[in-house]
Homo-oligomer: A and B are copies of this chain.
Amino acid sequence: MEATAIMMNSNIQLTSRDKAVLMKAPFLNSLGGSSLVNMLATMGVQTLAARATVFREGENAEAFYCVLSGYVRLYRLSRDGREADIRICAPGDTFAECLLYTDQKYPFHAQATETCTIAHFDLEAVKSLAEHDPEVARAIMASLSRHLLSTMECVANDRLFTAPQRVANYILSRCPVDGGPASIRLPFQKSLLAGMLGLAPEALSRAFSSLRKTGVTVRGRMIQVVDVQALRQI
């Protein structure tokens, strides 16, 4: 496919796994033909070491991003140096595309939580693409809608549920089955999950132990659930 050719030319470092993630990303997989080719033409790829900064709050926004491998953490700092995570971006997720039509400064920090490969798209270039290509505009609207919905869900979860309930929700959201026993593996460190749920690491740890009586066993990154239905009652 033409798109693949362009992509490989300008970005030798893309592994085949990264390419697969990129093409399956919700933001791109609805695009085809010239829309896809044009989007990929504005794209660059970069690799980040663990804890590396993607951008800082207040910097001029020049690009939005798509995670190809690893996890990127979006967070804010308070004046006294405390951090609050806003979103954890998994492979396939885009972030900062909300700056296309608004601010010209990044409104939060973005940091690689481990070794990461991320694609960047020039904001100006995509903006003018979107003006002329309804398919691109559609993809952006879909992506923004999805993020808005999940962020509103996050507000509601923070305000309605306690720590054990939020942890249970998270486990359930990653359980492949509807009932009976299940076993999942955390894709990242527990401290990252804690931040994602708006908790201190200690609070996450205590939430896990309070879930033991509901049949949740944690060993390292493995989580075993005796009965998924029972967990839903929390």
Chain A residues in the interface with B (C-beta under 8 A) = 74-76, 78, 82, 84-87, 97-103, 107-108, 130-132, 134, 137-138, 140-142, 144-149, 151-156, 158-161, 198
Copies in the complex: 2
- Consensus secondary structure, chain A interface: helix
A93 CB to closest chain B CB (Å) equals 13
List residues of chain B with CB within 8 A of the CB of A141.
100-101, 130, 137, 140-141, 144
List residues of chain B with CB within 8 A of the CB of A161.
78
Chain B minimum-CB-distance residue to A134? B131
Let me know if A108 and B156 touch, CB within 8 A: yes
Q: Which of B75, B86, B160 contacts A78 (CB 8 A)?
A: B160
Let me know if B82 and A138 touch, CB within 8 A: no
- Return 17 A-B CB contacts under 8 Å, by A number: A76-B160, A84-B155, A84-B156, A85-B159, A87-B152, A98-B149, A101-B141, A108-B156, A137-B138, A140-B141, A141-B141, A144-B144, A148-B151, A151-B152, A151-B155, A158-B159, A159-B198
What CA separation (Å) do A76 and B141 show in the bound complex?
Answer: 24
- Closest 8 pairs between A and B when the two form their complex, measured CB to CB: A84-B159, A144-B144, A137-B137, A101-B142, A76-B156, A98-B145, A151-B151, A98-B148
